[in-house]
Every structure is written in C-alpha cells, then in structure tokens.
C-alpha cells in the first residue's frame, strides 16, 4: 500500500500542497470507497456525493456509503436522488448507451456540487476493463461531460487487487453486495462509444433537464 501511495504522488495525485477538494462519487461499493481512501491518503479533502436510486435498490447503498464516509472521517455527505433521471435514460435513449449516458450524467451532477463546494476535482472508482462498459473509448466519452478534472486512482487496477486492498483497509464487509447502477443496465452495453452518437442520444433528454431536476432532491447530511 505504501509503495502505491508513493506512485500516486509521483503521478500528480498529491493534494497536500493546496488542500484541494475532491467531490467523490461514492456508491457504497468496493471501488469508490477505495478511491476516496487513496485520494485522502495523498492529501485531498474528500466531499462524498451519493447518487441514490432507492426506488430500485432501497436504502442499503446509502447506508453503506454513510458507513464508509464515517470510517474515513468525511463529515459532510451529499445525497441526490437520481431514480427519475435513470428511468428517463431507459425510456428515451438507446439502452446500449445506458452506462455511458448514466456516468456522463453523474459527472454533471458532481460538477454542480463541486461548484457549490469550491472543489477542484471529481473523484471516481473507475478502472479499465473491469466491466464490459469500462473501456478506454467509453471512459474518454464519459469524461468529456465533466467540467472539472476527473481523478481515477484505480484506473489500472483489476478486481482482485481492489478486493484485496478493501480487505486491507477493512472496508470489504461494508461494501459487499450489488451496486445500484447494474439494476437498469443493458445485457449488451456499447463498448466503443463515440462522442457524436452519445450527444445525439443526449438530445433526447434535452427537454427533461435531468441534472437540474435531480438536484432539487439534494440534501446534506452532517456526519
């Protein structure tokens, strides 16, 4: 673990100089909690944001995310309900684009929280190839929706390494269980998205203003 933290610093993942803030997309799963832990260890201040889909997943993912935030000492916890937005993706766009569109939407919501918090970055637990939709092409298209630099400390990790590290930092038991984002997703997601086609799909959502409407549900929990 120590050698990996040194590597993060060498590659610019070092927030200690300016006490920089990161809005962390925290699902409650293995990846995002570990990503936040690693960013915090190299000096970033973490602002956790949980995008909730209680209509499909109940309260479990919120509870897991809050438990992770408490473990790492993150005091301010944002929650936004995205159930209606995700259903809009299913109803109005090609289903194969669901994960790409969902993650672009999540970065846009996180960007609004980053503005509110005067944060400089968004953090995610994405890693290349861990699931079929997390390809280099897809991640490139997804990241272009962000208005802030996106930090991905797990980008080269495989699942075995992530699981082993969560055991080491004692978050495995907290994070075990299914994650929300899989419940509405397609069996065969696109793996080679391009920006033009993605933007065409997003045009179907233009009148729905899913980012602003989701942000109306914003609440802050002081831990």
Residue 85 has pLDDT above 90, yes or no: yes
pLDDT, tens only, 138-191: 999 999 999 999 999 999 999 999 999 999 999 999 998 755 556 788 989 999
CATH of the domain at 175: 3.40.50.620
What single string gives the DSSP state of each residue in 128-155?
Answer: TTSSTT--HHHHHHHHTT-SSEEE-TTT
Pairing verdict, β 45-52 and 149-151: unpaired
Q: Assign 77 to helix, strand or coil.
A: strand
Nearest to 3, CA basis, from 33, 30, 37, 42: 42
Structural domain count, the chain: 1
How far apart CA 45 and CA 131 sit, in angstroms, is 28
Domain residue limits at 8: 2-222
Q: Which helix (H) or strand (E) holds 221?
A: strand 219-222
Mean pLDDT, rounded, for 199-220? 97
pLDDT at 218: 98
CA distance readout (Å), 169 to 22, 43, 75, 103, 208: 20, 17, 19, 27, 41
Which segment of 39-43, 58-62, 218-222 scores lowest on mean pLDDT?
58-62
* 6/135: higher pLDDT: 135
> Which residues in 43-164 belong to E strands, given as ranges?
45-52, 76-81, 121-123, 149-151
């Amino acid at each position: 673990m120590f050698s990996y933290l040194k590597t993060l610093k060498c590659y610019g993942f070092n927030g200690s100089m300016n006490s920089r803030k990161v809005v962390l997309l925290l699902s409650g799963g293995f990846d995002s909690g570990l990503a936040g832990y690693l960013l915090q260890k190299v000096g970033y201040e973490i602002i956790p944001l949980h995008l909730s889909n209680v209509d499909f997943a109940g309260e479990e993912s919120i509870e897991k995310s809050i438990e992770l935030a408490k473990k790492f000492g993150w005091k301010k916890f944002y929650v936004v309900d995205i159930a209606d937005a995700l259903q809009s993706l299913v109803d109005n766009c090609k289903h194969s684009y669901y994960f790409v569109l969902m993650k672009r939407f999540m970065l846009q919501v996180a960007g609004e929280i980053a503005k509110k918090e005067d944060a400089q970055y968004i953090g995610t637990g994405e890693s290349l190839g861990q699931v079929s939709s997390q390809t280099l092409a897809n991640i490139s298209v997804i990241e272009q929706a962000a208005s802030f630099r996106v930090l991905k400390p797990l980008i080269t990790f495989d699942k075995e390494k992530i699981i082993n590290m969560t055991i080491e930092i004692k978050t495995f038991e907290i994070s075990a269980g299914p994650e929300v984002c899989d419940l509405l997703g397609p069996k065969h997601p696109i793996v080679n998205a391009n920006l033009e086609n993605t933007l065409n799909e997003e045009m179907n959502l233009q009148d729905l203003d899913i980012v602003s409407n989701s942000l109306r549900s914003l609440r802050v929990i002081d831990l």
